[in-house]
Structure 1
Amino acid sequence: MADIPPEDRDALLATEAQEIMNEYQTEIVDGSISRMRIYLSITIDKHYVLGLDFSNYPSTPPLITLQDAVTKVVGESSSLDAVKNWDPQNPPHINAIIREIEGKLYEANKYWEQERIISGEFDTSQVEGTSNKFRIKIMTYGLREFPFTIILQDPPNPPDFEFPPEVQQMVGSLDDIPIFKEWDSSSNPIIELLREINWKIDKHSRLGFEIELLESALKNVSYDPETRKITAEVKGTLKTSDIVFQFSVEIPEDYPASRPNIALLSKVDDDSLAKQMQEAVGNMIELWSPFNFLIDLFNSISKTIFKASVMVCIVCHGLECPTCGLPISALEDDVESCNALCPHCQKPYHAHCWQRNIESIGKCAYCLRPPPPRAGPSPTPPPSSDSSDEGEPEVRS
């Protein structure tokens, strides 16, 4: 059939061209009926153009010019079945080649609407060489990414998934997700299903992220996955000695939707501090929301311990002496301070405040006991307001 007279070849080309024009929107190129542009409309907003030159039909397959978007779906024209299996003695109609391309484009765009919805909310990329497989990346706490693959199916079937082991452990069985178990394709629930999967990944990865935050801020942090308990230590200073407070936190199954349960394991001799810590934790738990973190609880506890650790003068209730301006205590050895302690109750004073108090009432303002002779250090004399060394000022009558 390949060796046919020219007049018969022209008739054959005309017949092929007519069949194409009967089925597709076409445009003749350069006045030759064997050279055409074919316009394909796959969806409302998915349109493609093919270039065909079948001048040597049926001796050789037509020359096919494909747009990049078409090549991405169907591959090179040489990979088409009708082209690969070309037989000049029994050639397929040109229409058959166009239909093969059109069919692959329809198949690829069949899931376009679902892909559009998914990609509007999730990081989505199509798996090369497929029309219904898409890679999705879930970014969660600590900027960690968890990828998996969704395989879209024809309605009314739910999608299939390919989860890496770590993600599979987080998500569990899809049958445990009500929206998947009671799949209703008429409501297009695929985005809701992905949100549910996202929530499960967030839920599991958040706890690991929170433990990392605690480890960076606290001491001896440990987590027991069987009991879902975290233990951690908070270091503080009371008066002049360091002290370590140990806490345990029970994590409920539906954390962070439900509040954690925090308990102080260490004994606190200072009743006032114990009450303050209890109030701080209670206030945080009372206002708990899924947007809070465990580190927020421990920050509140640390602030409470810090406030209790700061010494203030029992008389002026300040940190700096109102007479000399020096602090009641110094964090560094080479920094001067102005301080005194009652020898009976050990309550802190500025040295100048202690001196004035003894001169005024003769006893400690807290325990009301008089000091023994020469109790407390001599205060540092306050700086003179007169910088000259000219002796005593003149007193005039």
Structure 2
Amino acid sequence: AIQIPKTISEEELSSLKTSEKFDDSLKTEEYTTPDLNAYPPDYQSEDYIVPSDTNNNLFYAEQASTDLSESYDAKSLDEPFFDETKQLNLELSTELGLIQQEYAYDQKGSNDAEINVYITITLTKTFIISIDFTHYPERPVITFPDEVKKILRDPYRTLNTLREWSSKKPPHIVDLLHELEKNLFFIKEIEIQSKRISGEYQSKKIPNSLTALKVHLMTYGFKEYTMVIDLESYPNPPVIDLSPELQQIIQISTTELDAYKNWKENESEPVEIVREISWLVDKNSRINFEIDLLKDHYKNIKYEPSTAILHVEMKGKMKTEDLTFEFQINLPIDYPMKMPEVKVVNEFEI
């Protein structure tokens, strides 16, 4: 058989020649080591310091360490383990922190324990209480405004916290403020009762008083009467001071008023007493007005306020001109809303 030799293309020949040249270059290339001495030195090597180097005292010196420990031991023996002044300041800081959580206050000076505390009872009433508790746990020194003294009399006696203060088992300053606020809080209720009175009647507060009102009553014939009502004893019945003219027209004492006699603590309200007085003024003013009208025609008229009975003598006319008629008029409690009862007292023949 005849074998035909393979032919090699030109591309294959060129790649073979290139690989041969690459191999020759690898064989002929030599690597040379650079000469470090040919370059100038850029830095100098630093000497490392070791702790054992006695010529360098950078880290510590054995002798100095010994002296430091000795001085520390001597100082620690001289100082007390418990600093009483720091403990006292801690107590004052604790008291101040408790106050700050619940009340607004101002510092009076450089002493943190001298402060003005603001106790707000209503939207329009705030009391400023000056407290000095520098010597706590001893009893604090408190300056009360005059308005508080009028309400509590002597706070050092009326406030249990102050009266029973013990430096061995002292209460917190904030506990004292709680009791004071509770005692003053009744002013809020008094303000509510005052607004109920002023909502129905013309009234104004008495100067220098937190609990008293001056009430003006307008009555029949547009005549004005005044009275002073003091709510300091609330929820007990108020203290009422009537003007002489008003006392004369209602004709009974305030303790005889139904609203006063039937007073129920925590249920009755002072405005109920004012209403009854106002009603008596209207009623008796109307009666007095009608009596004055009767007097223009009849001479013998007698009125008994305690029984609300009116006696009238009337002379007859024409056929009865020789007769005198005696009438008794019983006025009901609700007069003039209810009709009076009239009857003839004497007997006669026509």
Q: When the two structures are superposed, what TM-score results if normalisation uses the length of structure 2?
A: 0.51
Give me the whole-angstrom Cα distance separating, in 2, the residues matched to 1:64 and 1:224. 55
Matches for 1:16-31 after TM superposition, within 5 Å: 16-31=95-110
Give me the whole-angstrom Cα distance separating, in 2, the residues matched to 1:68 and 1:145. 37
Find the counterpart in structure 2 of residue 104 from structure 1: 183
Find the counterpart in structure 1 of residue 150 from structure 2: 72
Give me the whole-angstrom Cα distance separating, in 2, the residues matched to 1:90 and 1:173. 46
Q: Evaluate the alpha carbon distance shift between residue 25 and residue 233 of structure 1 in structure 2; reply closer, same or farther with a 3 A threshold.
A: same
Q: Evaluate the alpha carbon distance shift between residue 173 and residue 47 of structure 1 in structure 2; reply closer, same or farther with a 3 A threshold.
A: closer
Q: Does 1:257 align with 2:347?
A: no
The amino acid that maps onto 1:106 is F
Q: Does 1:40 align with 2:144?
A: no
Q: Does 1:81 align with 2:184?
A: no
The amino acid that maps onto 2:147 is A
Q: Evaluate the alpha carbon distance shift between residue 111 and residue 195 of structure 1 in structure 2; reply closer, same or farther with a 3 A threshold.
A: closer
Q: How far does residue 172 in structure 1 lie from its aligned partner after superposition?
A: 8.2
CA contact (8 A) 2:137 2:167 kept: yes
Identity percentage over the alignment? 19
Aligned positions, number: 232
Q: Does 1:126 align with 2:230?
A: yes
**Structure whose alpha-carbon radius of gyration is higher:** 2
The amino acid that maps onto 2:145 is Q
Please report the RMSD computed on the Cα atoms of aligned residues, expressed in angstroms.
4.7
Find the counterpart in structure 1 of residue 257 from structure 2: 167
Q: How far does residue 56 in structure 1 lie from its aligned partner after superposition?
A: 1.3
The amino acid that maps onto 1:65 is T
Q: When the two structures are superposed, what TM-score results if normalisation uses the length of structure 1?
A: 0.46
Give me the whole-angstrom Cα distance separating, in 2, the residues matched to 1:102 and 1:243. 78
Q: Evaluate the alpha carbon distance shift between residue 58 and residue 171 of structure 1 in structure 2; reply closer, same or farther with a 3 A threshold.
A: closer
Give me the whole-angstrom Cα distance separating, in 1, the residues matched to 2:98 and 2:262. 53
Q: Evaluate the alpha carbon distance shift between residue 197 and residue 144 of structure 1 in structure 2; reply closer, same or farther with a 3 A threshold.
A: closer
Extract unaligned runs of 5+ from structure 2: 1-82, 202-214, 216-226
Q: How far does residue 75 in structure 1 lie from its aligned partner after superposition?
A: 2.9
Q: Evaluate the alpha carbon distance shift between residue 9 and residue 111 of structure 1 in structure 2; reply closer, same or farther with a 3 A threshold.
A: same
Q: Evaluate the alpha carbon distance shift between residue 115 and residue 83 of structure 1 in structure 2; reply closer, same or farther with a 3 A threshold.
A: same
Helix, strand or coil: the match of 2:112?
strand
Q: How far does residue 64 in structure 1 lie from its aligned partner after superposition?
A: 0.8
Q: Evaluate the alpha carbon distance shift between residue 210 and residue 171 of structure 1 in structure 2; reply closer, same or farther with a 3 A threshold.
A: farther
The amino acid that maps onto 1:63 is V
Q: How far does residue 119 in structure 1 lie from its aligned partner after superposition?
A: 5.2
Give me the whole-angstrom Cα distance separating, in 2, the residues matched to 1:36 and 1:192. 40
Which of 296, 300, 309 is matched with 1:219 structurally?
Answer: 300
The amino acid that maps onto 1:73 is I
Give me the whole-angstrom Cα distance separating, in 1, the residues matched to 2:309 and 2:249. 25
Give me the whole-angstrom Cα distance separating, in 1, the residues matched to 2:327 and 2:272. 35
Helix, strand or coil: the match of 1:40?
strand
Give me the whole-angstrom Cα distance separating, in 2, the residues matched to 1:209 and 1:117. 30
Provide Cα deviations, 1:266-316, integer angstroms capped at 9, x if missing partner: 99x9xxxxxxxxxxxxxxxxxxxxxxxxxxxxxxxxxxxxxxxxxxxxxxx
Q: Does 1:6 align with 2:85?
A: yes
Give me the whole-angstrom Cα distance separating, in 2, the residues matched to 1:198 and 1:68. 33
Q: Evaluate the alpha carbon distance shift between residue 66 and residue 143 of structure 1 in structure 2; reply closer, same or farther with a 3 A threshold.
A: same
Provide Cα deviations, 1:204-243, integer angstroms capped at 9, x if missing partner: 86698689968998337476999x76433357999xxx97
Give me the whole-angstrom Cα distance separating, in 2, the residues matched to 1:115 and 1:100. 24
Q: How far does residue 53 in structure 1 lie from its aligned partner after superposition?
A: 0.6
> Which stretch of the first structure deviates more once superposed, 4-13 or 242-251?
242-251
Helix, strand or coil: the match of 1:56?
coil
